[in-house]
Amino acid sequence: MATVLTARDAWAVDPFEIQVYDGTANAPGVPGLELHLNRVFDGVKTAEAPALPMHQQTHMTLEPSMGLTDFLELGGYLQTAVRPDGTFDYAGAKGRAKFVLPDSGVQHLRLGVNLELSLLPERYDPSRVGSEVRPIVAWENERFQFAANPIVGIPLGTPERASGPTFEPAAMAKVKLFSALAVGVEYYAGIGPIAKPRPWAEQEHYLYEAIDITSFDAVEINAGIGEGLTNGSNALVAKLILGYSFERAPKK
């Protein structure tokens, strides 16, 4: 766990997993599987070598998970990418441990933290080894859903280690409609090092119009279109998450 707490990805906003964690986890013994698909239609067109520019990259991430206890879920990511010229790329692997509080003591409130360790190729992370510490605060009732993830990164590899911890907040607000879907907005940002934030124009800020389809048992569908709000952001990104929980129905 100490190792997990001491690294972070090079990209301020993770382009492979665009998701706000809502404080839920797989039940003990229940496996799950998610597929993350993201496409940068109009992105930043320059990058410092060996990193690749984000413009017109497509990202595909497979995320298996398993609930171990009522408060702990383990998971991993296998990342791939398609470059603008059509080249298919291995883009790294990650492991994570999500801890959730089964009973926060406050009605509708969920709390947790996700710890992540990654090993990526230099073209997707010049520092190669990275991690994140993602606190989770969520509130949900029959009509509304809110969540915030004030993510803190602590660089391990060069050249980012000297910059110190970074701040990458994410949040969402959604309203549920007809017991079949939820619509709302998701926000993601990369502020840069906490000790010395980047100028506003160089920071990443995104607002996604998002929809969750909730009418299928054990199936997760999340889709969104994101617009960059600063010069340092990709201008237009689309995302899709497909998930399935393999929990068996109880015997009658």
For 22-62, how does the pLDDT look when each residue is reduced to its tens digit (9 = 90+)?
999 999 999 999 999 999 999 999 888 888 999 999 999 99
Residues 6+ apart with CB under 8 A from 106: none
Report the C-alpha gap between 17 and 219 in whole angstroms: 18
Report the C-alpha gap between 75 and 153 in whole angstroms: 19
Residue at 250 is within a domain = no
3-state DSSP assignment of residue 6: helix
Residue at 251 is within a domain = no
Domain that holds residue 108: 4-245
Report residue 174 as tokens: 């959604």
Residue 3 confidence (pLDDT): 35
Residue 248 confidence (pLDDT): 63
Residue at 55 is within a domain = yes
Rg (CA), the chain: 18
> Other C-beta atoms within 10 Å of 142: how many?
8
Check which CATH number belongs to the domain holding 72 and give it: 2.40.160.40
Residue 171 confidence (pLDDT): 98
Residue at 252 is within a domain = no
For 166-201, how does the pLDDT look when each residue is reduced to its tens digit (9 = 90+)?
999 999 999 999 888 999 999 999 999 999 999 999
What is the count of structural domains for the chain? 1
Residue 92 confidence (pLDDT): 95
For 93-110, how does the pLDDT look when each residue is reduced to its tens digit (9 = 90+)?
999 999 999 888 899 999
Report residue 251 as tokens: 């015997």
Query: Strand 88-100 vs strand 109-119: parallel, antiparallel, or unpaired?
Result: antiparallel
CA-based nearest residue to 15, from 68, 53, 71, 49: 53
